[in-house]
Amino acid sequence: MTSIDTDLVGGRTVADIRADFPAFDAAPGTAGRVDTAYLDSAATSQRPRRVLDAERDYLEHHLAAVHRGASAAVGESTSLFEGARETVARFVGAGDRELVWAENATDALNIVALGMADASAGLGGREASAFALQPGDEIVVTEAEHHANLIPWQRLAAKTGARLVPVRVDEHGLWLIDAMAEAITERTRVVAFAEVSNVTGYLAPVADVVDLAHRRGALVVLDACQSVPHRPVDFTAVGVDFAAFSGHKMLGPNGIGALFGRAELLDALPPARTGGSTITKVTLESAEFLPSPQRFEAGTQPVSQVVALGEAVRYLDEIGMDAVAAHETAFAERVLDGVAGLPGVRVLGPQAGAPRAGLVSVAVDGVHAHDVGQVLDEQGVVVRVGHHCAQPLHRALGITASTRASSHVYTTSAEADRFVEALAGVRSYFGVVEAVGA
């Protein structure tokens, strides 16, 4: 069985990295206490001390009104704020003007959909008209999408008369490039999909989809929540038009996410929220807006969270995202090896030997996922249970919920084994037995 407790970079072992995270030496009763296997990083990752310290240091020593005023204090605070933007932008292959702060990835995706709705209603002028949808236009999404990358497009379709076109999944919950190619037509205006499924761990062929969409003149909107924290990404190189990700999944704070967009697109997209800091000129009758990113950042920004996210990115950069991806792939392989011998346990998504991200979701025959999670929790194994904000995918798989174990740079082989061992006892705990002759 593959060990995942190997050196990652610069001689640092997983044990050494775990020492950076207060959660793993905390007192009993906390989510990451030493007797708990924390396997829910796909939902929320733990944070290293230096990220917590960066936010605290800003609040204690550098707090001032960013972009407001001409004092030295404001200049210092603004420098830290914009410096973090530069750091995060480089991390995802974006220019400084191509990264907009949002509350989270859900908010970022809504910025795009709401902006397109406003353009469709005639707002934003001639430049924004390129985003306008009308009856007969189509928006392509996959059946595997998180609700955050589905509902905004449902609403946009309802507002504009456009049609939502689904790309169906197979019996494992995977959509195939051939099905995507069939769905994209000359009527397609938007193609929205996740780079990595939060349920199946499927790695989408992003470059292939971009090629298909752009040949038809469609925009590509990427949900990158499960890719940016776990593997190298370069949005510019792969050619997507918009992408969204969240800080709390990448060792950073809650309440901060980002929208990537090609500069010329962001400069033309009507801002979803308006107010202070977004404008060049305001009269009682109208307003003119700044270029990106300021046109989308109305009101006081979450500056301390932005600064902390910049530090989280520096931490990940030092480890190396290739190393992070390899570490998490090894976790998934170890879990799949262990689960393979368990009767009545169905693995969702890519099967053993196929590429996948560092998460594994399963369905246990005869036992609801919530009950599975309770048994695991009693044994100190923290996982995610439910439909993972992906009800259409679970419905397509014929189940209501699943149990997901997910990893990050601090996850150990022992934690993977504890998940498998706890899972092995679930069916017997509830008295579920194989049918005679099965």
pLDDT, residue 438, reads: 41
pLDDT at 335: 97
Q: What is the pLDDT of residue 1?
A: 65
User: How far is 67 from 76, CA to CA, in rounded Å?
Assistant: 10
| Same structural domain, 251 and 382 | no
In a domain, 223, yes or no: yes
Query: Are 159 and 212 contained in the same domain?
Result: yes
Q: Are 97 and 263 in contact (CB under 8 A)?
A: yes
Asked if 338 and 197 sit in the same domain, the reply is no
Phi, psi of 247, rounded to the nearest 5 degrees: -70, -35
pLDDT for position 33: 55
What CATH number should be reported for the domain holding residue 328? Answer: 3.90.1150.10
* Domains: count for the chain: 2
In angstroms, rounded to a whole number, what is the distance separating the alpha carbons of residues 278 and 292?
A: 9
Let me know if residue 3 belongs to a domain.
Answer: no
On whether both 359 and 238 belong to a single domain, the answer is no
H/E stretch holding 140 reads: strand 138-142
Rounded alpha-carbon distances, angstroms, from residue 212 to 90, 189, 192, 197, 205: 26, 12, 13, 20, 11
Q: Domain boundary residue among 317, 334, 367?
A: 317
Instruction: Answer yes or no: is 155 within a domain.
Output: yes
Q: What is the pTM of this model?
A: 0.95
Let me know if 122 is exposed, middle or buried by CB neighbors in 10 A (0-12, 13-18, 19+).
exposed
146 found inside a domain: yes
The Cα–Cα gap between 257 and 225 comes to 9
Residue range 232-277, pLDDT digits in tens? 999 999 999 999 999 999 999 999 999 999 999 999 999 999 988 8
Distance of alpha carbon 206 from alpha carbon 193, whole angstroms: 9
Asked whether residue 228 is assigned to any structural domain, the reply reads yes
Domain extent at residue 30:
14-47+320-428
Catalytic residues: 389
Other CB atoms within a 10 A radius of the CB of residue 268 amount to 21
Backbone angles phi, psi at 220, to 5 degrees: -110, 125
Which 3 state secondary structure label does DSSP give 286? coil
pLDDT of residue 436: 36
Q: Could you give the percent of the chain with pLDDT greater than 90?
A: 84
Say yes or no: 39 and 58 in one domain. no
Q: Let me know whether 340 and 248 are in one domain.
A: no
Q: Does residue 244 share a domain with residue 326?
A: no
What are the counts of helices (DSSP H) followed by strands (DSSP E) for the chain? 16, 15
> What are the distances in angstroms from CA 313 to CA 22, 224, 232, 249, 255?
18, 15, 12, 11, 16
C-alpha span between 332 and 4 (Å, rounded): 10
Residue 8 lies in a domain: no
Confirm whether 5 is domain-assigned: no
Whether residues 365 and 408 share a domain: the answer is yes
Q: Does residue 115 fall inside a structural domain?
A: yes
**Which residue ranges of the chain lie beneath pLDDT 50?**
435-438
234/376 same-domain check: no
Domain final position from 290, 317, 344: 317
| Pair (144, 227) in one structural domain | yes
pLDDT of residue 341: 87
Q: Tell me which of 263, 292, 317 is where a domain ends.
A: 317
Residues 268, 138, single domain; the answer is: yes
Strand order in the sheet with 384-386: 345-347, 359-364, 402-406, 384-386
